A = this chain, B = another copy of it.
Amino acid sequence: MPDQSYPTACLLVIGNEVLSGRTQDANIKYLATRLGQIGIPLREVRVIPDVAETIVGTVNEVRARFAHVFTTGGIGPTHDDITSECIAAAFGVPWQKHPEAWARLDRHYKPGEFNAARQRMATLPRGAELIDNPVSIAPGFTIGNVHVFAGVPRIMQAMFERLAPSLVGGPPVIARAVHADGLPEGRIAAGLSAIQARYPDLDVGSYPYYRPAANGIAIVAKGADAAEAEAAIAAVTALMLELGGTPVQGEPPA
């Protein structure tokens, strides 16, 4: 699928807990899906550790290459939460008290509980614009083309939905699918390749599934043009029938 008409996105998942296997990431799929709907396809994800040099270097590399960079993780009050100060370093701006974030957190905590650790969550790169956090108050922020979210999925999703109306994408990415139990990839491959060649503006993917109920393949056609995606899937359906398969429209049941 040619990307020229789309602003593209990169996601940085910041956190040792994903790299150690402690935590199953749940943010990639959510952001990938929502960004596709908005027409800002996710083109790369990096999972990186809580190491300042790595965060700063990676942010500077990817913010130059993608229209939008999203980060998750590392904006809480503890010593391993270093995303915010690293973003300031990446942009070469001071990391300083943000009056509005400070006021929100000061109102939120009981007297005496807005301590030094929590004050770090109101300390942001100069020029940052807040992203509301309706779950736990401490805000995310945008600076330049970098959008900084919490790592906890419920909070990340709430922040994303607050930001989403301001994101301007290309046409939504349309996906159409067909699947067939029992049909091996190796039998459909040649015909599928010919269909991909006929629809160069689509991205035609082949995904084997292994389910307790049945094994099979799902073919997905994605692109900006729904009619084209439907025509490609119709061609795949005919190909499956020709090979003796039993095509069923849509993705296989989960």
Contact = CB atoms under 8 A, between A and B. Distances in A.
Given A78-B192, A189-B78, A205-B16, A49 B43 contact: yes
A166 interface: no
A152 B205 contact: no
Interface of A: 13, 16-25, 28-36, 41-50, 54, 76-80, 109, 113, 115-118, 121, 152, 154, 173, 175, 185-190, 192-193, 196, 203-208, 210, 220, 222, 251
B19 A152 contact: no
A79 B196 contact: yes
Copies in the complex: 2
Contacts of A251: 22
A91 to B, nearest CB: 22
Contact of A46 (B44, B78, B154, B203): B44
B47 A21 contact: no
B115 A190 contact: yes
Given A22-B220, A44-B46, 13 more contacts: A16-B205, A18-B32, A19-B32, A20-B36, A20-B42, A20-B173, A21-B32, A25-B28, A76-B208, A77-B186, A78-B206, A117-B190, A152-B208
8 contacts: A18-B32, A18-B45, A21-B30, A76-B206, A115-B186, A117-B189, A152-B210, A154-B210
Contacts of A186: 77, 109, 113, 115, 117-118, 121
A32 B203 CA distance: 30
A43 B175 CA distance: 33
Nearest to A208: B152
